[in-house]
Structure 1
């Protein structure tokens, strides 16, 4: 289903940084609203249908990932005629800013979210933290978050040494501990790779009655990138919005990784590291039977040479 506007989202890929930012602001002004939230954040609303996607996105990631240099939420506008509220950051801020607090306070006071039949909050990593934390402003929302942090308060997560620059940022005031902010959600879904130890430890903090945690082994530390490359993220979001995201459906969607070389390389590296020669041989044979995969063909030749010598 589309809104009948083939030109949405517009292509901003050829613009300078300054013109790109102006272009994003103009889209919001023309389609809904664009609101600066201090020096580091902005809110961009595109009004369409009665399903609202609230996505938290880093501008550098938009610049890197999107062919049109527009927020991911815009893809869901074009694909499903959803409305989109993109909350944007300059850099990894975890959206810990009183201006952002005030923005969601105002949305709540105005009953903004009440105008939509369904509301879905989405984000990955630091943006996943924010999606969970601010979802409390829209009770009954669905929440999809990829490898989120629960908090960076060193009294709780002193074991996470990845973000030392955020140690002085408060995660104990308003919209603070992300798992607690999910209590008002209709349903939340946490996707993570259990082999990424720190991501798995954060994921454990999201263990709640209304939270489903899905393990995606060997998908790596850049889960959003991988799901975008596989074109799986829109379908996962749609299933979450419709309360159809469960283990069986996600497993069917994730079968696409069978043709995803980065996933297959990580899987082979693990079977080799574990000295599972038989499994490595089976994996290589399967891959070369379906794909042009020189690395797997070479490894298969090595494994078969070992068989000949034994």
Structure 2
């Protein structure tokens, strides 16, 4: 990602929830616009450059993952000079709300997206679903989705029992089936861990000519949190917006997980579960040589002790 000098760097980490919401609204009113959509959803627009990121996030997700308690798009305004449209939800709603439909209808009618040279929709999980679904309002946009759901319509995804109570939401009306909504996108990327069975099944529903599906084995079911911890997200967003996100680039970026303890622990657990003792030894030797890792040191000692007693 190219560096960009910007004075836009709000830090809302010290505010209470009500103060936080008020501060976000004021930022939108001063920098672009703020649009409440009932008690559950809101939109904050910050105008800057001619690349627009349309990000979908839950408020709890922002509070948990952002040190400054600001939407992902704010990072791209300050770091890359983009404009940002942040769609916020109170809880996981998949943004299935007629008021959200009407908001995107109005943006489309106003030609809002036509004002930008590049538009990138982004989200993860339920928000990844929304990024795909609403990208249809900006034909030619690019879409980056981390482990998105395609739908919760039980007629299509009855095998996904994680969100059984959410099936009451309407996924059959407007903007309903995310894989169909990305047909108008210039290009879309789905990133998922193939060992997360339900995420992999949803990703298969996005099999379209304009979609690239990238595997992130052993990264687990919280890709956005891990990618943020590894500082990969800004680079992924930039590469997607600029249509540079290739299998080779993604693989090179994912090498950062070699120093990510959660990934290494998942890999160790899998190798042990599969009885791959020699590979386990190689992994432990590699990790112990590079970092302080008591668990890997103990496991290596166990393997060596077994060898000595054989």
TM-score, structure 1 as length reference:
0.98
Find the residue that maps to 2:121 and give its secondary structure.
strand
Distance 1:150 1:9 in 2: 34
Q: 2:106 corresponds to which residue?
A: 106
1:154-165 matches, within 5 Å, as 154-165=154-165
Is the contact made by 1:9 and 1:70 (CA closer than 8 Å) also made in structure 2? no
Distance 1:119 1:41 in 2: 21
Distance 1:235 1:307 in 2: 44
Structure 1: tracts of 5 or more residues without a match: none
Residue 4 of structure 1 deviates from its aligned partner by 4.2
Residue 309 of structure 1 deviates from its aligned partner by 1.5
Find the residue that maps to 2:36 and give its secondary structure.
strand
Residue 308 of structure 1 deviates from its aligned partner by 1.0
Find the residue that maps to 2:106 and give its secondary structure.
helix
Find the residue that maps to 1:79 and give its secondary structure.
helix
Task: Kindly tell me the number of residue pairs found equivalent between the two proteins.
Answer: 309
Q: Deviations over 1:144-194 (max 9, x none)?
A: 000000000001100011112211111010000000000000000000000
Q: 2:308 corresponds to which residue?
A: 308
Distance 1:3 1:232, change over 3 A: closer
Find the residue that maps to 2:194 and give its secondary structure.
coil
Distance 1:205 1:2 in 2: 36
Query: Does residue 1:217 correspond to 2:217, yes or no?
Result: yes
Is the contact made by 1:52 and 1:84 (CA closer than 8 Å) also made in structure 2? yes
Is the contact made by 1:113 and 1:119 (CA closer than 8 Å) also made in structure 2? yes
Find the residue that maps to 2:75 and give its secondary structure.
helix
Residue 5 of structure 1 deviates from its aligned partner by 3.6
Distance 1:119 1:305 in 2: 57
Find the residue that maps to 2:168 and give its secondary structure.
coil
Is the contact made by 1:148 and 1:203 (CA closer than 8 Å) also made in structure 2? yes
Distance 2:150 2:303 in 1: 43
Q: Deviations over 1:100-144 (max 9, x none)?
A: 000000100100000000000000000000000000000000000
Find the residue that maps to 2:9 and give its secondary structure.
coil
1:74-93 matches, within 5 Å, as 74-93=74-93
Residue 3 of structure 1 deviates from its aligned partner by 6.1
Structure 2: tracts of 5 or more residues without a match: none
Is the contact made by 2:6 and 2:79 (CA closer than 8 Å) also made in structure 1? no
Find the residue that maps to 2:57 and give its secondary structure.
strand
1:133-282 matches, within 5 Å, as 133-282=133-282
Is the contact made by 2:40 and 2:90 (CA closer than 8 Å) also made in structure 1? yes
Residue 38 of structure 1 deviates from its aligned partner by 1.6
